[in-house]
Amino acid sequence: MDNDPQNSTQSEYSRISRNNMYSKKKSQSKLRVFRIVLVVIAFLGVILGITTANTYQRIHEAVNKTFKSSGLKKSRNTSEILTQGKPFTVLLMGTDTGELGREDAGRTDSLMLMTVNPKKKTTTLVSIPRDTVIAPVGFEAKFPQKMNSAYEFGKEATTIKTVQQWLNVPIDFYGMVNMHGMEDVVNEVGGIEVESPLTFKYNPLTAHADSGYDYGFADPGDLYSFTKGSTRVGFNKGATDGKYTYSNKMNGEAALAFSRMRYDDPQGDYGRTARQRLVLQGIMQKAKSNPTKLVNQSFLDTISKNALTDLTYDDMMLIVQKYISAASNIKNDHLQGGGYMIGGTSYEHVTQSEKQRITNILRSSLGLKKDKTGPLYAGKVSNAKLSLYQLPTEAEETTGSNLDNAGTATTANRTTGATYSEAAPAAEALDGYGQ
């Protein structure tokens, strides 16, 4: 979880230790945003039909390096789906483990479920709040946990099973990335143009619109400025003299800053995920206009070092043949939750009604018949345990059974949520995570 520098107590650290801590944080911050980008862009590279023999060879080599089975039996016949050009899903995950070859599992800091429908010529991206309270499938005894801890318990398999059961939407493939080389992704496509939904300034070092000197840091950091309704980006080197240089394009570092800001956004983490989707859309549109940028050797090297997926080379070639039209229209949405405090830790609770709304959208985009959304907390949780944590039961959220009016009866909950007693016991953590 991100730490707010303004809440740090200066007496706890010497100036040297504070500088070291925030220098480390600045480095780690680059591992926490755009986790989704590499997989989306790698996928886009094949969906746009870059088809020369040399290109195929390059992609083949890169894909071979990124392939990793989830170890799960597929819920659908994915080979048949792709062969017939039917809609499919990809669960996009971003982890904070660093190198993807490491054995220790971290958390998925970003989660998006993507559906691709060539008949409707539409790709749909839905963000899943990382702090959503759930019972990871197969690890229900650890309830309550956050959605981003499912990966820590059982890597790709547990994350897929949990999201799939939670929403009652089949997950056909997954893609996982880390942040190494993420700035290069934006730079490789020549920068992106994104219209900002709000006006703000952001210093990646402090996570606010100020200088590192204000916190006693040795490094002031840099300031970026963004203007509502404009693609213009300002950059203030050193965050001290107020002099900005401006551009109508975001480079990698600017895009990172644009996506990371949370504390000064009225919508908090939801605003941040919305901006992440805007960046993804900007990259996809830019890459679509010049897809050859996606197949130069340095770009493919970046992909192969920083992405894992269970999409095979043959899968991707079928996508080339049958799914090009799906890049024509990109739709964005997210699951909206309400705030809960459990044992002093902040969670997001997503109602059955809101889940049903998203389930309807996703199943419709896949051409599947309407059906009820999945269990409220994914895995099974006893009413006694829910009462202990003062969380609602599935039976109490009766609106979730209405397939047609999902989301209409709980607008207040979707925007404000509820805060529950600090007296509730803390959730059981796994190696320091899940809280």
Give dist(CA 432, CA 435) in Å, integer.
7
| Residue predicted with more confidence, 107 or 194 | 194
| Bridge partners (DSSP) listed for residue 122 | 117
Q: 10 Å Cβ neighbour count for 70?
A: 21
| Residue predicted with more confidence, 407 or 148 | 148
The full set of domain ranges for the chain reads 5-16+190-260, 37-186+290-415
Q: What is the pLDDT of residues 265-288, one digit of tens each?
A: 888 878 887 888 888 788 877 876
Residue 118 contacts by C-beta under 8 Å, 6 or more apart in sequence? Answer: 85, 87, 322, 323, 324, 325, 326
Give dist(CA 207, CA 254) in Å, integer.
13
pLDDT category of residue 289 using cuts at 50, 70 and 90: confident
pLDDT at 165: 98
Query: Most confidently modeled of 53-62, 208-217, 317-326?
Result: 208-217
Q: What is the pLDDT of residues 228-264, one digit of tens each?
A: 999 999 999 998 777 899 999 999 899 989 988 888 8
Query: Does the domain formed by 37-186+290-415 have CATH 1.10.940.10?
Result: no
CA 83 to chain centre: 28
Q: 10 Å Cβ neighbour count for 199?
A: 11
Give dist(CA 139, CA 150) in Å, integer.
9
Q: What is the pLDDT of residues 134-170, one digit of tens each?
A: 999 999 999 999 999 999 899 899 999 999 999 999 9
pLDDT at 415: 34
Does the pLDDT at position 395 exceed 70?
yes
Judge whether 229 and 259 are in contact, CB under 8 Å. no
% of the chain exceeding 90 in pLDDT: 42
Judge whether 358 and 155 are in contact, CB under 8 Å. no
Judge whether 151 and 93 are in contact, CB under 8 Å. yes
Judge whether 91 and 162 are in contact, CB under 8 Å. no
**Which of 276, 248, 244, 246 has its CA nearest to residue 260?**
276
| 79-88, 310-319, 351-360: the lowest-pLDDT one | 310-319
Q: Across the chain, what does the average pLDDT equal?
A: 78
The structure tokens listed for 375 are 């269990």
Judge whether 250 and 194 are in contact, CB under 8 Å. yes
pLDDT at 293: 65
pLDDT at 410: 37
